Amino acid sequence: MIRSLRDRALTVPRRNRFGDIVWRVPTAGMLAGILKNPAYAGAFVYGRTQSCHARYASGKIISRRRPMAEWKIVVKDRYPAYLDWERYERIQIMLSDNHAEYKRNQTRGAPRDGAAVLQGIVWCGRCGHKMGVEYKNGNRYVCNFLARSQGGALCQHLPADPIDACVVEAFFAAVNPAELAELMLAKDARQQADEAFDRAEEQQIKRLRYQALLAERQYDRVDPDNRLIAAELERRWEGALRELRQAEDAFERRRAMQNQSDDLTPAEQNDFIAAGSQLPEFWQRSDIEWGRK
Ligand SMILES: [Zn+2]
Distance 288 CA to ligand 1 centre (A): 34
pLDDT tens figures, 132-152: 888 877 788 999 888 877 777
Distance 67 CA to ligand 1 centre (A): 28
Asked if residue 216 has pLDDT above 90, the reply is yes
Distance 164 CA to ligand 1 centre (A): 18
**Which of the four pLDDT bands, split at 50, 70 and 90, describes residue 261?**
low
Distance 50 CA to ligand 1 centre (A): 36
Distance 163 CA to ligand 1 centre (A): 16
Rounded mean pLDDT, 107-135: 73
Query: Could you tell me if 45 and 71 are in contact, meaning their C-beta atoms sit under 8 angstroms apart?
Result: yes
CA 144 to chain centre: 33
Distance 99 CA to ligand 1 centre (A): 25
Distance 132 CA to ligand 1 centre (A): 10
Query: Could you tell me if 138 and 125 are in contact, meaning their C-beta atoms sit under 8 angstroms apart?
Result: no
Mean model confidence pLDDT for the chain: 80
Q: What pLDDT does 232 receive?
A: 92
Distance 142 CA to ligand 1 centre (A): 8
> Rounded CA gap, 20 and 150, in Å?
55
Query: Could you tell me if 126 and 155 are in contact, meaning their C-beta atoms sit under 8 angstroms apart?
Result: yes
Query: Could you tell me if 41 and 51 are in contact, meaning their C-beta atoms sit under 8 angstroms apart?
Result: no
Distance 283 CA to ligand 1 centre (A): 30
Q: What pLDDT does 108 receive?
A: 46
Q: What pLDDT does 231 receive?
A: 92
Asked if residue 246 has pLDDT above 50, the reply is yes
Distance 109 CA to ligand 1 centre (A): 22
Q: What is the C-alpha end-to-end distance of the chain, expressed in Å?
A: 26
Asked if residue 205 has pLDDT above 90, the reply is yes
Distance 146 CA to ligand 1 centre (A): 7
Distance 124 CA to ligand 1 centre (A): 5
Backbone torsions φ then ψ of 157, nearest 5 degrees: -140, 150
